[in-house]
Amino acid sequence: MSWSAGSIARPLFAVDFATVGAVVALALVGLIAGGVVLSYFSGIVPTINRHIGRPWTRSTILTRPLLNWERVNLYLAIDALFAETPNAPPVMGVSYYNELTSVLSANASRHHPLEYTVKPISLLGTTKVVVAGLYLLHPPGTPPFVAMLSRTGLDLMAATPEEAQQALDRVLAESRKRNVFRGQVLVVEQAGTNGPNGEPDFQIQFHDLPVVTRDQIILPEEVLQVVERNVIGLLKHATTLRKAGRSTRHGVLFHGPPGVGKTLVTKYLARACTDYTVILLTGRQLRLVRESCVLARLLQPSMVVIEDVDLIAIDREQSFDTTLLHDLMDEMDGLGTKAEVIFLLTTNRPRMLERALAARPGRVDQAVYFPLPDRDCRRRLFAYFASGLDLSGVDVDPLLDRTDGASPAFIEELFRKAALMAAERGEHSDPLKVTTADFEAAVRELVEFGGALTQNLLGYRNDPDAGGRGMGFPMG
């Protein structure tokens, strides 16, 4: 074979690189387009658009900031509505997203795993709660809507503003109905972070309040009747009083020397008012007056128990910082006459209290003085504290005389100390046999060696607020 001059040699299977490049480019474009389409339809947006019945960009989103303690109730509400939705699709995880608009704008995947946390629902019970999840809901009686529970808020989306508001009202109604805190004994604690709008956040702890029965309370019967009328009576007759235009919001102040049973009575009342949510403020919780009153309004009917109220409500002329005092007075005033809230305040120092709090109807409506036990009450206290002891060898009447002016707390400690004296001398009988000499030794140790400090702590002292009655505890 000959070649002509100037001819170009061509291989048998020549490759047109331009054509191949075009084919590869077309294939890549197809793959990318297919990936985009696949990514779109595997995202949240198409599913939500079908559920709502219109593009999400033409729908309405309502956002509600979420405080720490609200999460468990909102979760239970949404979970209940999810159970009522026929053929509801699985709950979708939304990973680190905190806003529904961000999820939709990014068309986040429907396949993110769900993350849970554990929250208490009672003193001993817990439940798992979604940290960030998206629900497609359509319970009977409510238009279809989307609910997203995130780390910071609750977002709801529906086709129109009216339907979005209807969905929010339904969720909040379910949340109130399923509120795990209602009817419980609670304390408020400061949370580690602030709320979503910068307001102080708080968390709620369930409290194990011992059950105290009426027969454990040893007071003059007329005193106990006044206490019960002003608390249990208001609960019992609340409907009748409201029909008559009377308010059931009430403030009661218990005062008297230490150890006379003020705390014991508050425990009795807290358990006797079974329909009330009880919120305790004592010690470090006293600084959370405003938060506790917010909770009382939300969970009414409720009872706010503030022990040693003088620690935050001391007379303004004797205090440099009156912030908590003003918080308490503002909250008691702001509740209004229709609120079903009872305030139980206790103090050993009523004369130290701010008069605008203690002497103003509408804040404190009834003060009840808890006296030191008279002879009849001391005899009942002896019988109560003698459980497990054999007092057949004790002359009780002189002991009743010698405990004139002593509080129930002092008498309780006297019996415990006498039992200890009996054990130290080798007594092991059942019931434990205690003698007059054991009580003599117990009295001597409490009164002489304990000094004024022990006597004050146990309520064995002269109480000017009680009218100056002397204690008169002679040593034989």
Specify the residue for token string 């939709």: 104
Specify the residue for token string 């009414």: 300
Residues 225 and 329 in one domain: yes
Separation CA 250–CA 114 (nearest Å): 46
164 and 107 Cβ atoms separated by less than 8 Å? no
Residues 236 and 332 in one domain: yes
Q: Which of 138, 155, 180 is the last residue of a domain?
A: 180
Number of structural domains found in the chain: 3
Residues 224 and 361 in one domain: yes
As a whole number, mean pLDDT of residues 446-466 equals 60
User: What is the amino acid identity at position 117?
Assistant: T
Residues 122 and 247 in one domain: no
Residues 60 and 138 in one domain: yes
Confidence of residue 315 (pLDDT cuts 50, 70, 90): confident
How many CA atoms within 13 Å lie on the side-chain side of 116? 8
Is pLDDT larger for residue 370 or for residue 364? 370
Residues 221 and 363 in one domain: yes
- Kindly state whether residue 345 falls inside one of the protein's structural domains: yes
Q: Which of 325, 343, 369 is the last residue of a domain?
A: 369
Look at 135-149, 162-176, 269-283 and tell me which has the smallest mean pLDDT.
Answer: 269-283
Separation CA 30–CA 349 (nearest Å): 84
Q: What is the reported pLDDT for 462?
A: 43
Q: Which of 156, 180, 204 is the last residue of a domain?
A: 180
- Residue 145 clears pLDDT 60, i.e. is over it: yes
- Kindly state whether residue 36 falls inside one of the protein's structural domains: no
- Which range of 23-32, 103-112, 190-199, 343-352 scores highest in mean pLDDT? It is 343-352
Which DSSP state fits 194? Answer: E
Residues 173 and 131 in one domain: yes
Q: First vs last Cα of the chain: how many Å apart?
A: 147
Q: What is the reported pLDDT for 473?
A: 38
Condensed to tens digits (0 to 9), the pLDDT of residues 77-125 reads 999 999 999 998 899 988 888 899 998 988 887 778 888 999 999 989 9
Say whether pTM exceeds 0.85: no
As a whole number, mean pLDDT of residues 398-408 equals 89
Q: What is the reported pLDDT for 267?
A: 92
170 and 80 Cβ atoms separated by less than 8 Å? no
- Kindly state whether residue 193 falls inside one of the protein's structural domains: no
H or E segment and range at residue 55:
none
Separation CA 146–CA 103 (nearest Å): 12
- Token code pair at residue 9: 């040699």
Domain that holds residue 138: 54-180
Pick the closest to residue 325 from 355, 300, 361, 284 (CA basis). Answer: 355
Residues 122 and 221 in one domain: no
Residue 439, domain CATH: 1.10.8.60
- Kindly state whether residue 306 falls inside one of the protein's structural domains: yes
Separation CA 419–CA 333 (nearest Å): 50
- Kindly state whether residue 403 falls inside one of the protein's structural domains: yes
Q: What is the reported pLDDT for 465?
A: 44
Q: What is the reported pLDDT for 16?
A: 64
Confidence of residue 2 (pLDDT cuts 50, 70, 90): very low
Condensed to tens digits (0 to 9), the pLDDT of residues 201-214 reads 778 999 988 889 99
Is pLDDT larger for residue 261 or for residue 112? 261
Separation CA 182–CA 67 (nearest Å): 17
What's the CA dihedral at 52, 55, 59, 62 to 10 degrees?
80
Provide CB contacts within 8 A for 385, sequence distance 6+: 411, 412, 415
The percent of residues in the chain predicted with pLDDT above 70, rounded, is 83
Question: What is the sign of the dihedral through the CA atoms of 304, 310, 314 and 320?
Answer: negative
Separation CA 164–CA 60 (nearest Å): 6
Separation CA 184–CA 95 (nearest Å): 34
296 and 304 Cβ atoms separated by less than 8 Å? yes
Residues 360 and 389 in one domain: no
Is pLDDT larger for residue 51 or for residue 37? 51
Residues 361 and 382 in one domain: no
Question: What is the sign of the dihedral through the CA atoms of 64, 70, 75 and 76?
Answer: negative
> What region does 451 belong to: left with phi over 0, alpha with psi -120 to 50, or beta?
left
Residues 403 and 358 in one domain: no
- Residue 466 clears pLDDT 70, i.e. is over it: no
Separation CA 65–CA 196 (nearest Å): 6
- Kindly state whether residue 344 falls inside one of the protein's structural domains: yes
Residues 236 and 169 in one domain: no
User: Environment class of residue 279 by beta-carbon count within 10 Å: exposed (0-12), middle (13-18) or buried (19+)?
Assistant: buried
As a whole number, mean pLDDT of residues 33-49 equals 65
- Kindly state whether residue 46 falls inside one of the protein's structural domains: no
Q: What is the reported pLDDT for 95?
A: 80
Provide CB contacts within 8 A for 164, sequence distance 6+: 59, 60, 61, 62, 145, 156, 157, 158
As a whole number, mean pLDDT of residues 118-135 equals 92
- Kindly state whether residue 250 falls inside one of the protein's structural domains: yes
Specify the residue for token string 């000959």: 2
As a whole number, mean pLDDT of residues 147-152 equals 92
466 and 369 Cβ atoms separated by less than 8 Å? yes
Helix pair angle (289-298, 323-334), 10° resolution: 20
Pick the closest to residue 79 from 88, 112, 158, 126 (CA basis). Answer: 88
Q: What is the reported pLDDT for 158?
A: 95
